[in-house]
C-alpha cells in the first residue's frame, strides 16, 4: 500500500512539473489545495491508464518498438497522457493536454521526473 501511495505522489509531482513547464498542459481551478487534490486524482487516473491500457498498447505495437529501437515509447507515453486528459475531462477534473506534440514533450518530462522522484522516495511495501 505504501508503494502505491509513493508512486501516486511521484506521478502527481511529475504531472505538476509538466503543468509548470508547458503552457499547453493546463490545470485550472481555484485554490492551491484544490489544484493539489486535482493533481492527486489525475495522478490516480494516469496510474490506472498506465497499469491497464499501456501494456496492451505495448504488446500490440511491439514491432514498432523494435523498428524504432524503443523511440516509439515516446509516442505511447504521449497517447497515455492524452487518454488521461480525455478521461479527466469526462470525470470533470480540470486537467487538459492540448495537442499531440505537447503530449510527447509532457510524457518525456513526466517520465524523467517520475523516474527521479521514484529513485529518491522509499520503495518498500
Q: Which residues contact 95 (CB under 8 A, 6 or more apart)?
A: 15, 19, 25, 26, 27, 38, 39, 42, 84, 85, 88
Q: Are 82 and 107 in contact (CB under 8 A)?
A: no
DSSP state of 111: H
Cell of 45: 487516473
Q: How high is the pLDDT of residue 33?
A: 87
The model's pTM: 0.90
Q: How high is the pLDDT of residue 124?
A: 64
- pLDDT tens digit at each of 125 positions of the chain: 678 888 888 899 999 999 999 999 999 877 888 889 999 999 999 999 999 999 999 999 999 999 999 999 999 999 999 999 999 999 999 999 999 999 999 999 999 998 898 788 776 65
Q: Which residues contact 16 (CB under 8 A, 6 or more apart)?
A: 27, 39
Q: Are 125 and 1 in contact (CB under 8 A)?
A: yes
Q: How high is the pLDDT of residue 5?
A: 84
With cell 493546463, the residue in question is: 26
Amino acid at each position: 500500500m505504501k508503494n502505491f501511495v509513493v508512486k501516486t505522489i511521484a506521478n502527481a509531482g511529475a504531472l505538476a512539473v509538466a503543468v509548470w513547464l508547458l503552457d499547453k498542459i493546463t490545470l485550472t481551478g481555484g485554490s492551491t489545495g484544490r489544484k493539489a487534490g486535482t493533481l492527486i486524482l489525475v495522478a490516480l487516473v494516469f496510474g490506472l491508464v498506465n497499469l491497464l491500457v499501456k501494456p496492451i498498447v505495448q504488446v500490440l505495437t511491439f514491432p514498432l518498438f523494435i523498428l524504432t529501437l524503443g523511440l516509439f515509447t515516446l509516442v505511447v507515453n504521449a497517447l497515455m497522457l492524452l487518454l488521461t486528459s480525455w478521461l479527466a475531462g469526462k470525470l470533470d477534473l480540470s486537467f487538459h493536454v492540448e495537442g499531440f506534440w505537447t503530449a510527447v514533450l509532457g510524457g518525456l518530462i513526466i517520465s524523467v521526473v517520475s523516474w527521479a522522484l521514484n529513485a529518491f522516495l522509499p520503495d518498500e511495501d
